[in-house]
Amino acid sequence: MTAPWPSTADALVAAQEELATARPEPWRPRPGPCASAGCFVCFERGRVGPGAAGDRGWAAACVLVEHAPALSAVVAGRAAAPYVAGLLGLRDGPLLEAAVRQLPATPDVLMVNATGRDHPRRAGLALHLGARLEVPTVGVTAEPLIGRGEWPADDAGATSLLRIDEEVVACWLRARRGVRPLVIHPGWRTDLETAVTLVMAATHGTRTPEPLRQARRAAREARAGATAVATG
């Protein structure tokens, strides 16, 4: 049985510091179809502040293989901790892991709405979740956490590096022309080149990669359904 997620800030920091020094074998997509998954968590509306322990949450995971129908899993639960930047694993980690483990098959790679090396201890939730699941991961966020760098050119596929001091930790990626770029984070067993290639292949001309977009939709639909039942 998988050990529980760290339950205190000190325990999570210790786990992050250990993960930051890990150097697992790099992963590369094999020739042929790739089972790409995404996972996303959302919390109940109407909250005051960034988020508190006990907030109701809905996490979804979705896996796609070329033209096959998407396979999804959704779990509901309570946040184990308040939102604190750099300690997202305490709040989101258990729900996201549960959703991915509910999928009928293990994906080849997982896209997470969280950071990787762009983190005070160089081990954000995208990296931590991949290590726990033993699945290569890529982080996809709207903004960097602490990395800094100029936006890329306004061309599809354009990138620009994000650094903490002189260390490259992520990059901006313009998925298509005329839209705001996303931040792409190497996660567990992935490098920046692989992460960018995977995300571009999964966008299909949109801004958000399809596995992550479908997971986001599934989580929000589950929240909407639960809210309708509660108020009905």
In tens, the pLDDT along 138-167 reads 999 999 999 999 999 999 999 999 999 999
- pLDDT confidence tier of residue 1, bands split at 50, 70 and 90: very low
Query: CA of 173: how far to CAs of 47, 71, 195, in Å?
Result: 31, 27, 10
For 27-34, the CB contacts below 8 A with 24+ separation are 27/109, 27/136, 27/189, 27/190, 27/194, 28/194, 29/108, 29/109, 29/194, 29/197, 29/198, 30/108, 33/65, 33/66, 34/65, 34/108, 34/109, 34/198
pLDDT at 47: 74
- pLDDT confidence tier of residue 3, bands split at 50, 70 and 90: confident
- In the chain, the largest separation of any two C-alpha atoms, in whole Å, equals 54
- pLDDT confidence tier of residue 65, bands split at 50, 70 and 90: confident
CB 117 within 8 A of CB 169: yes
Distance of CA 6 to the CA centre of its chain: 18
Q: Is the pLDDT of residue 136 over 50?
A: yes
Distance CA 51, CA 79 (A): 9
CB 97 within 8 A of CB 73: no
Domain boundaries, the chain: 36-231
Query: CA of 224: how far to CAs of 58, 108, 123, 229, in Å?
Result: 10, 30, 32, 9
Residue 86's nearest CA partner among 147, 159, 138 is 147
This prediction has a pTM of: 0.95
What's the token pair of residue 56? 């109701």
Q: What is the mean pLDDT of residues 160-180?
A: 96
Distance CA 167, CA 175 (A): 24
Q: Which residues contact 128 (CB under 8 A, 6 or more apart)?
A: 15, 16, 19, 89, 93, 188
Q: Mind listing the pLDDT tens digit for each residue in 201-219?
A: 999 878 899 999 999 999 9
Q: Mind listing the pLDDT tens digit for each residue in 4-62?
A: 899 999 999 999 999 999 999 999 998 888 999 999 999 998 777 889 999 999 999 99
The one-letter code for the residue type at 119 is H
What's the token pair of residue 193? 């080149």
> Is CATH 3.50.50.60 correct for 36-231?
no
